[in-house]
Structure 1
Amino acid sequence: MSTSRTRATLWVILASATLTVMAGAILGPIVPAIQSSLGVSESRAGLIITTHGALIVLVSPFAGALIDRVGPRRPFIAGLLLYAIGGGAGLGIDSFWPLLASRAVLGVGVAFVYTGITVLIYELYEGQRMDRALGLRSSANSVGAVIWPLVGGALGTLSWQAPFGVYLIALPLGLLAILTVPETGGRSDSDGGTTDSETGLAGVVGVFRRRPMLLGVYLLYFGANTLLYTIVVFYPQLLEGVGVTSSFSISLYLAANGLAGGVSAALYDRLIARTSRPVLVTVALVLWGIAFAGATLVDSPLSAVPPVVAFGLGLGLVFPSAFGWIEALAPVDRQGQFSSYLASAGYTGQFISPVVFGPLVPAFGVRGVFGAAALVSVGGLLVVGILGRSRAA
């Protein structure tokens, strides 16, 4: 594949990576408008944001299995088409249940796009080029988390349906993918990995038994997304306590979190060339412990900036590390299947975060949420240290 086409392929992959974040983020600013326009309760309006995530968790394993059978290109392109249909349908829907159904279609599309991107990177790049692509993919996610909510908020001033039009960007991306993304022949033993011929549940259990670190990678990704959503859900409440109340001002703090993650992820390939994934994850956990401990001490708008920046920097190290570990540990003929579990773990963490940490607010205040998150980060650091010592022994 020529250098120019390789570059075009990477840009299509990175642009598509921002869409997986956009799926829910772009509607965040207009939830109140959706609620009033459709005449539904706050919880029902919230389902418009979360339904696609539930479908991603459920559908991702099926997407991964299909990708292993037919390769990532066609499921990835089909996912972009479903994304455009499910997301863009909101332009012409003005009742709750049809809109909820369209969000389910969107979730199916995201599941195929998310896992398709992962396996495309595994199969199109190797070595430091793969590390760079994984870092840029995480950086694109972070940039998308900054840009798309602002776009949604701006279009929401026109009408509550206008932001749904942005989902249609997946259509031209799909056409570009047809032109630039090549078919891949998959990978075999000769690529440096091993295969596991067992299939079904017994095969999955067998892989985990032989490669127990896979479970640790899923737990890391689940925990990272759970902690991320303590920032997304509860940091605005903390900011209100120090006088930051406008939605735009709050969005700037969340944008700082995303930008910090984008910077560290963009540098990932250079960092991993000088150290190792365990070291980068350890640094991230230290940053998270400092960030959440600092959040419990926030007493002014200025002092609220370092915690979100520190957390974002750590997130930009953990996400590409998790994807890199899956590539190294999963059977080479089943990387779609095992990378799909990463998507399910991440979106489950996002969903469960307010359920786990929310009950702490009445008992300990919103600062109690970040105190608990700091303890979780320190616990993760201890686990990484123990595992490192046991391996050294």
Structure 2
Amino acid sequence: MTTKSIRRRLRDRISLSPSAGAALWVIVASGTLTVMAGAILGPVVNQIQSGLGVSQSLAGLIITTHGLFIVLTSPIAGVLIDRYGPRKPYILGLIVYAVAGGAGLVVTSFPVLLVTRAALGVAVAFVYTGVTVLIYNLYEGRRKDRAMGLRASANSVGASVWPLVGGILGTLSWQVPFGVYLIGLPLGVLAFLFVPEPAMASTSSETDESSSSLGALVDVITGTPLLVFVYLLYFLANVLLYSIIVFYPGVLATFGIESSFQISLYLSAMGVAGGVSAALYDRVRQRFSYGQLARIALVLWTIGFAIVPIAESPLVAILPVVLFGLGQGLVFPTAMLWVEELVPPDRKGQFSSYIAMFGYVGQFLSPVLFGPVAAGFGVAAVFGVAAGVVATLLVGTTVWYLA
């Protein structure tokens, strides 16, 4: 037996030890909190409005404010994680997440609650990027693919489960769902006990000084144009995700499906499909490159969205959300792992933080981009346009790949 094979077996045993397994599941569980941040309160927006005595638009800010602060804070989180390592910022993010999110249990002032939601966004930025860099640096090869796939799977399933939890708890009071955020505290304790500080790439003083330089950022992006495509792919995935969340209920209404429970079943089918493909990501990754996985997802999305304008029954209307979910489960871990492959080792935090930025900006802009289409041509046209956009990107990337 060679020395190399001995090292590999030892590494396998270490990675399968109970403490290593606990670390993985703590990281995966922490990852789904970023989805829960807004999803848990979606079903109780109307109750928040009446409970606080504010308008519908102001009540909506309780759902969206944290997303704005994730976008604003993520680059800062990335730089700090590169400088100090991911573990401490990640654990601190979990604690702030619990305190800021759980504050809604006792806060009854709209301005104060809005401040806590801003703090929640800051916490999510640190947890999101911290989880990403921890997976980058704690795992290698197929185990890294598996860890990132499990994270994406947990997020997809969480997107289906958390609204249901929020709706059930909301029957007690509009404030009770805020108590779920307190799960960040025990996760912070478990992270402190089981998640190690990974080895970080050494940085020279020159790199440290230029880490926040716009010129240095431009150098990396211009030297690696593929990186722009990866960010845009993640942006598109989130734009399309929220096009379904916002506009697909209108499509279902044409089939007489209007109850919130029935609509939730369709959205849950999307989450389950994404959870399945993401959970199998490490196996799929063994057979396909990142570029091939991206194109597979684009094919699934093109077919799925093209079905919407011609769907004639509620049963057929399930296919688009399932096909999108399958593609989403491939794109999310692919984008995160692809970024790591393309950027300097000592700047993983900075460049992975932009993934969160592009994702949340995409979610915000989705109704802005597709709203005029829905208003002018109907909700089904939204998905016809989406199919055209995705198909164009698919053809462009295929030609680029073959050139």
Structures share fold, TM-score greater than 0.5: yes
Q: Within the alignment, does 1:237 sit opposite 2:250 as a pair?
A: yes
Q: Which residue of structure 2 aligns with residue 269 of structure 1? A: 282
Instruction: Provide the C-alpha distance between the structure 1 equivalents of 2:265 and 2:188, rounded to a whole number of angstroms.
Output: 31
Please say if 1:364 is aligned against 2:387: no
- After superposition, what is the alpha-carbon deviation per residue over 1:105-151, rounded to whole angstroms, capped at 9, x for unaligned? 11000000000000000000011111111111100110111111110
Q: Residue 289 of structure 1 corresponds to which residue in structure 2?
A: 302
- Counterpart of 2:338 (choices 317, 325, 328) is 325
After TM superposition, give the deviation of residue 197 of structure 1 in Å: 8.1
Letter in 2 for 1:14: V
Counterpart of 2:41, as a letter, is L
Question: How large is the Cα RMSD of the aligned pairs?
Answer: 1.4
CA–CA distance in structure 2, aligned partners of residues 263 and 126 of structure 1: 22
Question: Offset of 1:196 from its aligned partner?
Answer: 9.8
- CA gap of 1:39–1:299, structure 2 versus 1, over 3 A, is farther
Does structure 1 residue 6 correspond to structure 2 residue 25? Answer: no
- Which of 146, 155, 169 is matched with 1:132 structurally? 146
- Aligned residue number for residue 129 of structure 2: 115
Kindly state the Cα deviation for residue 185 of structure 1 after the two structures are TM-superposed.
Answer: 2.1
Q: CA separation in 2, counterparts of 1:197 and 1:87?
A: 35
Shift of 1:198: 4.2
2:66 alignment counterpart: 52
Equivalents in 1 of 2:139, 2:232: separation in Å? 26
Q: Does 1:201 align with 2:175?
A: no
Gaps of 5+ in 2: 1-13
User: How many residue pairs were aligned?
Assistant: 385
Q: 2:116 aligns with which of 102, 122, 138?
A: 102
In the TM superposition, what is the alpha-carbon distance from 1:35 to its structure 2 partner? 1.3
Q: CA deviation at 1:188?
A: 5.1
Matches within 5 A, 1:210-221: 210-221=223-234
**Equivalents in 2 of 1:28, 1:211: separation in Å?**
39
Contact 1:196 1:207 in 2 (8 A): no
User: Residues of 2 paired with 1:26 and 1:41: CA distance?
Assistant: 20
- Hey, what's the Cα distance between the residues in 2 that align with 1:134 and 1:226? 21
* 1:361 CA displacement: 1.4
User: Runs of at least 4 residues of structure 1 off by over 6 A?
Assistant: none
User: 1:258-293: per-residue Cα shift (whole Å, max 9, x none)?
Assistant: 000000011111111012111111111111011111
Report if the CA contact (8 A) 1:26-1:149 is conserved.
yes
Shift of 1:386: 2.0
State the AA in 1 paired with 2:126. Answer: F
- Per-residue CA deviations over 1:55-114 (Å, capped at 9, x if unaligned) read 000100000000000000000000001110111000011121111111101100000000
Structure 1 residue 298: deviation in Å?
2.7
**TM-score, normalised on structure 1?**
0.96
Distance, in Å, in 2 between the alignment partners of 1:386 and 1:156 is: 50
1:389 aligned onto 2:379: no
Deviation for aligned residue 1:32: 1.1
In structure 1, the partner of 2:172 is 158
